[in-house]
Amino acid sequence: MNEDLFKKIIEISGRNPNLCYQCGMCTVVCPINQYMDLKPHVIIRYVQLKSIDFKKLSSVWKCVSCMACVDRCPRDVGPGVIFEAIRSLVLRKGIDAVDYNKLVDFEKTPSMALIALSRKMTG
């Protein structure tokens, strides 16, 4: 990740990842952290270090945008908002990690999951 990308994340999200002191609260309150390869606080650390390839990062697409981490972050970093910014930047490059056609049973999918999915399709 280059400096420009880092600045864009800050610009879009309105948050400063550098304020994170790695308390881990965001990961504790995240309802789907067990499905993430990298936990929310770890991703924020990578963002601080500017050392991650977001195109290969599946966790930001698994985030359901519940914003529990945003509510509980003591440093007002809010990984959920940072993840939205990252998804937007990836989508603007024409890379989409979401495909409705791969849903096995549309009718039985919880509406919250569908709404979360739709939000990830808007860059």
Please give the residue ranges that form the binding site for ligand SF4 (CB under 6 A). 20-26, 29-30, 32, 40-41, 44, 63-69, 73-75, 77, 79-80, 83
| Min dist. Cβ of residue 19 to ligand SF4 (A) | 7
| Min dist. Cβ of residue 91 to ligand SF4 (A) | 17
Which residue's beta carbon is nearest to the bound ligand SF4? 80
Residue in the block written with tokens 């789907």: 32
Gyration radius from the chain CA atoms: 14
Choice between 79 and 120, CB closer to ligand SF4: 79
Choice between 24 and 123, CB closer to ligand SF4: 24
| Min dist. Cβ of residue 117 to ligand SF4 (A) | 13
Give exposure, 28-44, as e/b (b: 16+ Cβ within 10 Å): ebbeebeebebbbbbbb
Q: How far is CA 114 from the centre of its chain?
A: 16
Choice between 44 and 86, CB closer to ligand SF4: 44
Choice between 95 and 113, CB closer to ligand SF4: 113
Give the closest residue to 119 by CA, choosing from 94, 93, 83.
83
> Phi-psi region for residue 24, left (φ > 0), alpha (ψ -120 to 50) or beta?
left
| Min dist. Cβ of residue 52 to ligand SF4 (A) | 15
If one counts every other C-beta atom within 10 angstroms of the C-beta of residue 118, the result is 11
